[in-house]
Amino acid sequence: MAGEYNAFAVTASDTVDDPNGPFTELVVGVGGTLTVVTLGGSTVSYTVVAGQRIQLRIRRVKSTGTSATGIIGQV
């Protein structure tokens, strides 16, 4: 329904977009490195801390290059 938001545990993959995405925001549970593929296809790496929010249209969190865990995606 329009105006509703959902959140999902992110499924990291180097080759397949997350089936629950694309996400409008990610929330990090445990800090580390977070490597994502944006909706436009760019690959970006962040150093993140627990509780940090990344607000960007993200279609995939990559397995390779991601050490952060407990990542939740909002759609």
Can you spell out the DSSP letters for 17-54? --TT--BSEEE-SB-EEEEEEETTS-EEEEEE-TT-EE
Assigned domain for 2 exists: no
Among 58, 17, 6, which residue's Cα sits nearest to residue 48?
58
Q: How many residues does the chain have?
A: 75
Tell me, what's the pLDDT at 5?
81
Tell me, what's the pLDDT at 74?
95
- Print the domain residue range for 70: 7-74
Tell me, what's the pLDDT at 1?
44
List average pLDDT for each run of 10 residues in the chain, which is 75 residues long. 77 96 96 97 97 96 97 95
| Spatial contact of 55 and 25, defined as CB atoms under 8 Å apart | yes
Assigned domain for 60 exists: yes
**pTM of the prediction?**
0.89
Domain count, the chain: 1
